[in-house]
Structure 1
Amino acid sequence: FHALINNAGVRGNIFYDDFLTVDDYKDVWEVNTCGVIRVTQTFRDLIKKSRGRIVICGSATTLFPTVGSGPYSCSKFAVQAYCNIIRHELRSYGVDVIEIIPGSFDTAMQSSDRLIKMADDVWHRASQKLHDEYGHNYNEKVRKFIKKVQQNIVEHDTTLVIDSYYEAIVAKRPNLLYRVGWDVLF
């Protein structure tokens, strides 16, 4: 059989919704949600004919959305809904649709420097009114929060995620959902 792995994703800008634009949401949705749909639809007939598997990367944000992650969280909730919908639609063709939900892992997407730069960029483009409302040192609080989260939550062994993808593809009876990482095992 054939297997399709939909693993691409982007974080997008992070900050409170007050600071974000519709374009911030659209940019993330275009990759995380529409990208998954496009790739799946492109290969769906091949997967149906071979009674194969579709493995899609979800996110722990669907289990516990975090403040400041609006674009990313919304896109991943939509991906989760899409998984559930096509799982039911393709079941009669013998196709398994499997969602991998990784927790917080040490990847380029989770880099503290990268996240801080995104927060800084959003802060600097914000209006004076928002700076006054939130306080002129608010971005420093955000920077400290990002560093603290990265130090205390992020897991470094990404082989756990790789192993879950492998199992989803080769197992005789794969789980329909894999939660991977200590922060999603509740």
Structure 2
Amino acid sequence: MRMDVTSDEEVKAVYEQIQKDLTQNEEQLWAVVNNAGILTLGPLDWGTVDTYKRIFEVNTFGMVRVSRTFLPLIRQSKGRIVNLVSMAGRLTPENLGIYSMSKHAAISFSDGLRRETRKWGIKVSTIEPTAYKTPMAGPDYFTRELEKQWNESSDDVKQLYGQAYYDHFKQRKDRLTVAKTGKNIYEVIDKMIDAIRSPDPQIRYVAVPGKAYNKIAIFLAQLMPLEVYDSIFAHKSTREPKPSGLQRLVNEK
């Protein structure tokens, strides 16, 4: 069945169909998995506010809409709600601010829902992966979203950053999507299955691809002071070209 999570009508129609099927077969709905998500990237002053709304409508309000709609069925079964969020909802990487905002909100919703539905015997878990090789983390998707953000930016913003900065950003993101994404998506899927089937599911399932030091680095990043976290990003940015507007200020001095 088709279900656009941004559409009240489609979510309601799917709910009514599932409710009908469950009644006819004398069965119950055990779990809802909120997996819909989209991503954009680029500085927070690129593009328009409509992009913020588009990302939140799927990543945050879509999750809210589906969870609230199906909650009566989950109450009956004392079942599970499993929300796929992201480590970007705990740590905000540079140039992923809009996506991270939506995932922070989704995590807060999940935390509140988990605490409020315990009295009904419902268990709510979040799945929090880093980067895995899915269509959304591929170079074509990244390029399309980056071009959209740049093309919809104001002339003042384009002049401030400059074409050379954008071109370098685009090339760097293409390299990152190839080098930094995990290929074994079953690391994430297995955690989703455990959240549904385990008698005592975890509150949080963190999925980090690669070797053990990657997992340790993510763990430590959540504990370190924000000043240290910011300084790491600041150090990395020194190796990147400066926006043309910033370069002009440096030259004037």
Query: TM-score normalised to the size of structure 1?
Result: 0.93
1:108 aligns with 2:135: yes
Give the TM-score normalised by structure 2: 0.69
* Deviation readout 1:14-45 (Å, 9 max, x if unpaired): 21111132110111111111111111111111
What secondary structure does 1:23 align onto? helix
After TM superposition, list the pairs within 5 Å mapping 1:30-179 onto structure 2. Answer: 30-179=57-206
**Cα distance in structure 2, aligned partners of 1:96 and 1:127:** 45
| Aligned amino acid, residue 160 of structure 1 | E
Contact 1:120 1:139 in 2 (8 A): no
Name the stretch that deviates more: 138-147 or 36-45: 138-147
Q: After superposing the two structures, state which structure 1 stretch, 120-129 or 28-37, moved more.
A: 120-129
Q: Distance in 2 between matches of 1:36 and 1:126?
A: 28
Partner of 2:208: 181
Q: Does 1:5 align with 2:33?
A: yes
In the alignment of these two chains, the number of paired residues is 185
Q: Which has the larger radius of gyration?
A: 2
Secondary structure, aligned partner of 1:17: coil
Offset at 1:102? Answer: 1.2
Q: CA deviation at 1:138?
A: 1.1
For the 8 Å contact 2:88–2:103, the answer to whether it is kept is yes
Letter in 1 for 2:185: T
Kindly report the root-mean-square deviation, in angstroms, between the aligned alpha carbons of the 2 structures: 1.5
Gaps of 5+ in 1: none
Cα offset for 1:167?
Answer: 0.7
Partner secondary structure for residue 85 of structure 1 = helix
Tell me the distance in 1 between the aligned counterparts of 2:187 and 2:51: 31
- Which amino acid in 2 is paired with 1:84? D
% identity of equivalent residues: 31
